[in-house]
Each structure stands twice: as structure tokens, then as C-alpha cells.
Chains A and B, each alone.
Chain A
Amino acid sequence: MGRQLLLRVIVVVTAILGVNYVAWRWLESVNWSAWWIAIPLVIAETYSLVDVLLFGTTMWKAKTRPAPPPPPPGVTVDVFITTYDEPVELVARTVEAALAIRHPHSTWVLDDGSRPAMRAAAEALGAGYIERTIDWADRPRHAKAGNLNNALFQTEGEFFLVLDADQVPEPEILDNTLGYFVDDAVALVQTPQYFTNVSEADPLGSQAPLFYGPIQQGKDGWNAAFFCGSNAVLRRDALMQLGLVGYVRETERAVREALTTGRSLLHRASKQAEDPREAMALRQVRKAVDGALERVAAGEPVAAVTYDFQRRLDEVSASMVHADLAAIRADLAALDLGGEVGALPIATDRELGATLVDESALAQLAARELSPLHAMAEVQALVGAVDVGRSDEAIPVMPVATVSVTEDMATAMRLHALGWRTVYHHERLAYGLAPEDMATMMTQRLRWAQGTLQVMLKENPLVQKGLSVGQRLMYFSTMWSYLSGFAAVVYLAAPVIFLCFGVLPVTAWTVDFFIRFIPFFLASQVLFLVAAQGVRTWRGQQYSLALFPVWIKAVTTAAANVWWGRPLGFAVTPKVRQDGAGAWRLVLPQLTAMVLLVVAAVIGVIRASLGYSLWVGTVVNLAWVAYDLLVLSVIVQGLRYRGYTESEETTTHESRA
């Protein structure tokens, strides 16, 4: 408890010093004559202050849990190993370890690649093999979320452990985690991810000791421990409930949209109706659409409304068939030529695999001039597609969230919104493999960032119903940290601009500045140090600044995806050889920044010696440049890294022993 109290005191002190500094920056020291750099800098500093305050909030409740009770007796568990294209031998290693887990369970390989060799290996080892059912053909696959959802409908354990293909579990993984589920409100227990193919120096920053430690423990204190996609045990019933709630929400929304579109479509078509029988039929269908919309708005169960609606449309069509078979035939022939019925405005996001009613396509459809009969067929097909049967999806109920490329964060947030609890269990119970080259590592980080930002833009945690204030802040905090790329650019540019051109973003480098800045800077470093409890965090700090182009790209692509429906475009990452030659192209912005910093330092010294600028400002900025270079130097280390070799292996055996 003493440590926690100390931590809280440091958090409060840091917050006071930080607010004091940033308030002074805004009110007293912005150099308005150089606003173009002064304003970005003060905004960047404000961003960093918020980041520190959110970190402090996370640490406020950091908790170390006591060992959980033993597992509830007789519970049934499935172990899911998800794979797509990993080498069969690698997956087999995980399968063997999974089979050796002590607590009774069934082991399943979830092979999204449907590889015969994988099936043979799984069966030879005695594990179950699950691939996508035929229902998924020609429908959105939803990547890993879809893989898990597919398996959830083919198995029946009360709990399931999710393991990525490379995550080799310890035999006690279930014995040590299932006990938390004695509490009926617990939906998830997450354990750390740890990588064995990483040397002590960890040049690619693969280990995340601050996250799988103090940060998750802090989030846990606010009942917001995150789901990280692997090495976690989940309660099936909680996930199923999530799936059902999502199904209801999607169905209601889609039916309402389809009916509204149908109404405009029919309105236009009715202007064209010359035949009185056609006009009459269209009127009847419009009445049915209006009636259905009213009933949905009044809160009537959707299934009853759409059932009645479809029956009514069938009746109207039937009456028309009786009335004028010949006219219908002619119109059908025309339809055939057009061939447009069934080409529904339902778009698929390629990366996400999410099926969405495409709003712009809906608007286009509504604006089209269709023959009356064609319009009716279109309305019926439209409502049919989004109806309670959800024929646009492979399975109507999706327990694992499919809203983002990173299914884990969205799933946990929705569980929390429904009132479920999650647990972070701080003990390494599975050992995996990290990427061994810069290009793969960067692609992975980009994907995580994009996924997190997608969730933030689609389901902003600050306004989600059902979340507590603490939970909102915990989700927001992670999302906020991914905006750091923009601040990094400013922090790199400001000293270069001063040293080269003598432009000051701050009114003066005076005592006023130092007595406010230095205490805040030191306090936040101390906060970091105490919170980290001795784990090494420098590598993580370096990469959070050094990968600034990745974070910026994540923001722009995620925004373009969410707001304008553009694909995320993973393919644009240049292909490089696995040995890393040519990888420097990926980090060109960072290398350019380093060259600029060095050049600026030389120019700065020359300018100061010639009396063009004051030494005090030059020294401050030279120190700043040195810090930036130290941080960015990790890029060079990462580039030079040639993958993990056994001789370097020191951490693994010690930690496992």
C-alpha cells in the first residue's frame, strides 16, 4: 500500500506541475510572431500533458491481484489455436503444448487456410480441426474474428482459451486462470504475451513489459483490463450475449435503412406508373413500407414486422400476376436485360470483411428511375437481405466483434458496456514469437494502430453507453497515445527551425521557462520510473516517438476508412526482402529527420559563434537535438538487426526457470 500511496502522490505532483507549465505556455509564452511553429508546439505540449495525465489515471488504481481460487469443478473448456498461413510445424508445436494442458479440455486447430497438411497434422496429434463452414463462401470472412465465431458455433465448452498459432502454453495455464470465473460477472481473463525469440537488447521493441504489467494492472483497477487477442480465457455465454445484442442492433438499423430507401425508390417509380393496376400495386406497397416503418419506430419486434411486410409484398405481386401475366412477362424480360435486381447496395469492406449497407449506393439506388415492377422487386430483395435472417452474413450472430481489424479491443469494450468484468492475470503462461525484421514489425504496429483508431472513430469510448468514467478513460487513453505521431513531428521540427533560422517558438528561454519546465519534466520521468517497477521501458519510449510516420499513416488511413469508406490499404507497405536489405526505404522519414537534426546542430553552433543567436537558446536546442537523436537511433539498431540467434538467448531460460 505504501508504494501505491507514493505513486499517487507523484501523480498529483506531476499533474499540478504539468498544468502549471502548460497553462503558462498558453497564457504567457507563445511567440505569436512565429505562430506557425509556436502554435503547433504548444498544442503538441498540451497533447503530451494529456498523455501523462491519462497515464497517471491508469496508474492511480494499479492493482496486483492475489492468486485466484481453484477452478470451479466440472467446467468444460475449449482451447482454440488460430492459424491462417503459419508453417505447419510451428502450429504443431503449439498444438502439442495445448494438448498437454493439465485441466480437462478439448484442443482445436482453427485453420482459416483450410490446408490439408494442417488437418493431417492436427488429427495425427489428436487435436480437433475446424475450418470455415460452407456458409462463409462468398460472404465476408471477418478475418480472425470470423475464424473464432465460426468455431464458437461448432463447439460447446463453457469457456475457451484463445492462442495465436505461435503461442506455446504452459500446462498450468487453465488451472491458474479459470478460478476467476467463480465470479459470475467475469467474462475474460487476459494473461501476458511474451516472446522467446527476442534478445536482451530487444532491438525491435517487441516485448511490452510496461503494457503487460503496470498498464494492464492499472486498467484492471478500473475494471478495464484489455483483451489482447491471444493468451486469454473467455466465457462463452458472455460472448454469445454480446453477439445477440449486436445482432439486434444491426438488424434494427439495417431494416430501418432498407425500408427508408425503399420508400424513396417507390416514390420515384410511382411517377412512371402509367398502367392503373401498376399504380395501384405501388400504392399498396408504399402503404406497407410506411406501416412497417411506423411499427419499427413504435418498438414492435422486428421479426413480426418484416414477416408481415414480406407476406404483404408477396400478396401484391401475386395479385399483379393474376391481373396481367403478359405485361409482367414483358417487364421481366426487360429486367433480365437490366439484370439489376439482386445487385444490392451492400458493400463489403475488403480488409475488415464487414458487410455494411453502403449509404452512397443506397442513395444512388433511391435516385434511380426504375420501372414500377422493377422497383417492387428491388424493395423486396433489399428488405430480404437485411432481414432478421441476415442472409448477407455467414452466421447471423457474431459473438466476437467484427467492427475493426483488431477484434479484441472492440470486443472487450462491448463486454464492459454490457456490465461484464475482465481480469488481468500477471503471470507468463504462454510463450510466442515476435517478428524478426523491421518491415514485418512495422506492418504489425500499423495494423494495431489502425484497428485501435477505427474503434475510436466508430465507437468513441467517451460516449458509449454502459461504460464507467474510468473505463471510458482507459480506452480513450490507449487511443490517444496513437495520436503521438503529429506531436513527434513538431518536437523534431522545432529545434531544427530554431537552430537554422533563429525562429523562437517560445517568447524566451529564460528562468521563467526553466523553473516551470524542468520540474514537470523531472516529475513525469519519476512517475514513469516508479510506475514501471523496474521493468525496462526505454525501448518502448523510443519506438513511440521513432515510429511517428507509422502512427500518422494509421490516423489518416483509419479516418479515410471510417469517414469515407476507403480501404485501409495494407498493400501499400513496400515489399522488402526478409533479410532487411532495402528496409531503409521504410524508415526514410526517420533517417531524413536524423540528417536534418545533425545539420541543424552544426548550423546552430556556427550561428551562435557568429553572434546571430544567443548561446542559451542554442544550448537548450542542442540538448533537444541530442535527445531526439538518441530516441531515433533505435531505428538504426532495428535496421541492423538480422534476426534472433540462439547464442543470444539468455532471457528465456532464466525467466522460465
Chain B
Amino acid sequence: MNLERELPTPTTAVLRPRGRLTMAAATTLKTAIDGTVADGHHLVVVDLGETEFLDSSGLGALVGGLRVARAAGGDLRLARVGTQVRTVLELTTMDRVLTPHVTVDDAFAAG
């Protein structure tokens, strides 16, 4: 996995994991979310448009990130969710907690 970070405003951030988001990548992603939130970008959108594969461990890292963002008074949202990722969200029933937004802008606009 490689990870691209974009900081549109001082309080927001977009993270784009590319490739496979499994346990091996989960720690990197979690660390990146922690750092981003600590820098004051409390509202984090994870753009999964270029994530080829996500497993339960990757999703676990996202829940960890959600917790960190919420504790800082912000939020973590998902955008551009593909078929495979959507299947994992449904299999783990995580779609009942996290909304998969169609675009990054939608994700920011929600809430």
C-alpha cells in the first residue's frame, strides 16, 4: 500500500490508501490518521477509490482512526467505496456504523 495525504484546510484532511489495505498496511494507515488528527486536521476523509483490497484488519484500523478523530472532536468518513470494499463493509455489518459516501465532497458535506 502507498498512502497519499492531502490537506484541503487546516482542519480537514483526505487520505488515499492505494493498493492492498490489509494488516501489514493497517498500522501505517492508523499511524497516519493519528498524526493527521494530532496536527489539527480533525475531519478526515479516507478516499478508498484506489484501494484494490480491504480486509477486516484494514477495517479495524479505520475504526481505530474513527475513535481518535471523534476523541479530538472531529470525524472519520469513507468515500469512493468500490465493490470489494462494500462487500467487506456488509460482511462485517460495518455499513451500519459508517456511511460509504460516493465522493470526497459528499463525505465532507455530510453531518
**Consensus secondary structure, chain B interface:** helix
A389 touches B66 (CB 8 A): yes
**Residue B11 is within 8 A (CB to CB) of chain A in the complex:** no
Which residues of A lie under 8 Å from residue B55 when comparing CB positions? 237, 240
CB neighbours (8 Å) of A299 from chain B are 96
Contact between A303 and B92, CB atoms less than 8 A apart: no
CB atoms of A236 and B57 under 8 A apart: yes
Considering only residues 232-254 of chain A, those with a C-beta below 8 Å from chain B are 236-238, 240-241, 243-245, 247-249, 251-252
Whether A304 contacts B99 by the Cβ 8 Å rule is yes
Residue A302 at the B interface, CB < 8 A? yes
Q: Are B64 and A302 in contact (CB under 8 A)?
A: no
A249 to B94, CA, bound (A): 10
**Dominant secondary structure of chain A at its interface with chain B:** helix
Known A-B contacts A301-B95, A301-B96, A301-B97; the reply to A397 vs B63 at CB < 8 A is: yes
Looking at B71, B91, B92, B111, the one whose CB has the most chain A CB atoms below 10 A away is B92
Give CA–CA (A157, B57) in the complex, Å.
11
Residues of chain B from 62 to 90 with CB closer than 8 A to chain A in the complex: 63-64, 66-68, 70-71, 75
Instruction: Write out the residue numbers on chain A whose beta carbons fall within 8 Å of the beta carbon of B15.
Output: none
Beta-carbon contacts under 8 Å, B25-61 to A: 26-27, 55-57, 59-60
Interface residue? B24 (CB, 8 A): yes
Measured as residues with beta carbon below 8 angstroms from the partner, the interface class of chain B is 20 to 34
Query: Is A86 in the interface zone, CB < 8 Å from B?
Result: no
Q: Are B27 and A301 in contact (CB under 8 A)?
A: no
How far is B75's CA from A389's CA once the two chains are assembled, in angstroms? 10
Distance in angstroms between the alpha carbons of A581 and B31 in the assembled complex: 56
A77, chain B: closest CB distance, angstroms: 12
Question: In the complex, which residues of chain B have a beta carbon less than 8 angstroms from the beta carbon of A237?
Answer: 55-57
- In the complex, whether B93 has a CB less than 8 A from a CB of chain A is yes
Residues of A within 8 A of B111 (CB): 304, 307-308, 311
- Residues in A neighbouring B59, C-beta threshold 8 A: 240, 244
A650 at the interface (CB under 8 A from B): no
Task: Give Cα A302 to B23, complex, Å.
Answer: 25
- Residues of chain A within 8 A (CB-CB) of B98 are 301, 303
Nearest-CB distance from A143 to chain B (Å)?
A: 21
CB proximity to B under 8 Å, residues A307-343:
307-308, 311
CA distance A388 to B94 in the complex (A): 11
| Chain B residues closer than 8 Å to A153, beta-carbon distance | 60, 64
- Whether a CB of chain B sits under 8 angstroms from the CB of A387 is yes
Determine if A241 and B99 form an interchain contact, defined as CB atoms under 8 angstroms apart. no
Collect the chain B residues with CB atoms within 8 Å of residue A304's CB. Answer: 99, 110-111
Q: Cβ of A247 and Cβ of B63 under 8 Å apart?
A: yes
Q: Contact check: which of B67, B92, B94, B99 meets A391 at CB < 8 Å?
A: B67
Pick the residue among B57, B64, B99 that contacts A301 (CB under 8 A).
B99
Is A353 an interface residue when CB atoms closer than 8 A count as contact?
Answer: no
In contact, B95 and A244 (Cβ under 8 angstroms)? no
B57 lies within 8 A of A390 (CB): no
Contact A244 B94 (CB under 8 A): yes
Are A389's CB and B97's CB within 8 A? no
Q: Nearest-CB distance from A94 to chain B (Å)?
A: 25
B75 adjacent to A307 (CB under 8 Å): yes
Count of residues in A whose CB is under 8 Å from the partner chain: 33
Question: Do A240 and B56 touch (CB < 8 A)?
Answer: yes
Indicate if A396 sits at the interface (CB-CB under 8 A).
Answer: yes
Give Cα A252 to B95, complex, Å: 12
Q: Is the CB of A389 within 8 A of B96?
A: no
Whether the Cβ atoms of A389 and B99 lie closer than 8 Å is no
Indicate if the CB atoms of A303 and B56 lie closer than 8 Å. Answer: no
CB <8 Å contact, A244 and B70: no
Nearest chain A CB to B88 CB, angstrom units: 9
- CB atoms of B94 and A248 under 8 A apart: yes
Task: Check if A244 sits within 8 Å of B96, measured CB to CB.
Answer: no
| A156, CB-defined interface residue at 8 Å | yes
Report the separation of the CA atoms of residues A34 and B40 in the bound assembly, to the nearest whole angstrom: 79
Are A389's CB and B67's CB within 8 A? yes
Smallest CB separation, B63 vs chain A (Å):
5
A242 to chain B: closest residue by CB:
B56
Instruction: Please tell me if the beta carbons of B97 and A241 are within 8 angstroms of each other in the complex.
Output: no
Considering the complex, give the chain A residue whose CB is closest to the CB of B23. A156
A244 x B67 contact (CB < 8 A): no
Asked if B97 and A388 sit within 8 Å, CB to CB, the answer is yes
Given A389-B66, A397-B60 in contact, is the A244-B24 Cβ separation under 8 Å?
no
A158 at the interface (CB under 8 A from B): yes
**Interface residue from B27, B63, B68, B75 paired with A244 (Cβ < 8 Å):** B63
* A331 CA to B20 CA, complexed, in Å: 53
Establish whether residues B67 and A303, one from each chain, have CB atoms under 8 Å apart when the complex forms.
Answer: no
Q: Which residues of A contact B67 (CB under 8 A)?
A: 388-391, 396
- In the assembled complex, A586 has its CB within 8 A of some CB on chain B: no
Residues on A with C-beta less than 8 A from B64 are 153, 395-397
Q: Lowest 10 CB-CB distances: which A-B pairs, in order?
A: A240-B56, A389-B67, A244-B92, A389-B70, A156-B23, A241-B56, A301-B99, A248-B93, A307-B111, A302-B97
Having A247-B63, A389-B68, A390-B67, one finds 5 other A-B pairs with CB under 8 Å, namely A240-B59, A244-B63, A302-B96, A303-B66, A303-B98
Q: Spell out A's residues near B (CB within 8 Å).
A: 153, 156-158, 236-238, 240-241, 243-245, 247-249, 251-252, 299, 301-304, 307-308, 311, 387-391, 395-397
Cβ contacts A to B, 22 pairs, < 8 Å: A156-B27, A156-B57, A157-B23, A236-B23, A236-B57, A237-B55, A240-B56, A241-B91, A241-B92, A243-B56, A243-B60, A247-B63, A248-B97, A301-B95, A301-B96, A301-B99, A303-B75, A311-B111, A387-B70, A389-B71, A395-B64, A396-B67
